[in-house]
Chain A
Amino acid sequence: EAQVTQNPRYLITVTGKKLTVTCSQNMNHEYMSWYRQDPGLGLRQIYYSMNVEVTDKGDVPEGYKVSRKEKRNFPLILESPSPNQTSLYFCASSLVGRLAHGYTFGSGTRLTVV
């Protein structure tokens, strides 16, 4: 089944403790992206990647890192999480140049930073 898999689904952590949210897709998509969803703000793009070793900042990149060492994986790294990063995170993927077909989204990761 074609899908985007995020792990974990739920995570509670403490301020300053480094964490990684994994994202993997099995559709051979070049384009991958991370969004955060907050009430009243909709979805905002954090980082995106057009292909392996090619990443770029989205609208709200502060406090986040990403890497794209393999085509299928696009982990989101929070080096020193803070409470304002408490949010619902979505990973998405698409074929480059095929954005007309929309994204495939993962099921989301609900992160709470205390």
Chain B
Amino acid sequence: AQSVTQPDIHITVSEGASLELRCNYSYGATPYLFWYVQSPGQGLQLLLKYFSGDTLVQGIKGFEAEFKRSQSSFNLRKPSVHWSDAAEYFCAVAPSGGGADGLTFGKGTHLIIQP
């Protein structure tokens, strides 16, 4: 069965600093990989996804993520965070064949932005 690990429960970053959120997955093959963001009181919004091709993917709001097969990782990065980036971030995987299992989520990383 697939699984996702987000090692950091909370991360605090100063506004304007760079950000990296870690995500490791366990799956027999290369899965589809996603990052979602959940702002306070809101639903989940897709930031970016990877399913083939270039291992560096660009998303919305200035985020990017890099797929590293050798490390089974899909870390999310942003060069300069804004106060509005404070939110909960979820990494998720899905079987590359689609299928019924759907998305498996990590437990999330809570991002705090300090002035």
Contact = CB atoms under 8 A, between A and B. Distances in A.
Interface in A50-106: 50, 56, 58, 90, 92, 94, 96-103, 105-106
Interface residues of A, number: 28
Interface stretch (B12-20, B67-75, B76-84, B101-109): B101-109
B43 A96 contact: no
Contacts, number: 64
B107 A108 contact: no
Given A100-B32, A101-B49, A102-B49, A56 B100 contact: yes
A15 B11 CA distance: 37
Contacts of A56: 100
Of B46, B102, B105, B106, the most chain A CB neighbours within 10 A belong to: B102
Contacts of A100: 32, 49, 51, 94, 96, 98
- Secondary structure class of chain B's binding surface, majority of residues: loop
B56 interface: no
Contacts of B99: 99
A26 to B, nearest CB: 16
Nearest to B94: A99
A92 B90 CA distance: 15
Nearest to A35: B105
A87 B42 CA distance: 14
Interface of A: 31, 33, 35, 40-45, 48, 50, 56, 58, 90, 92, 94, 96-103, 105-108
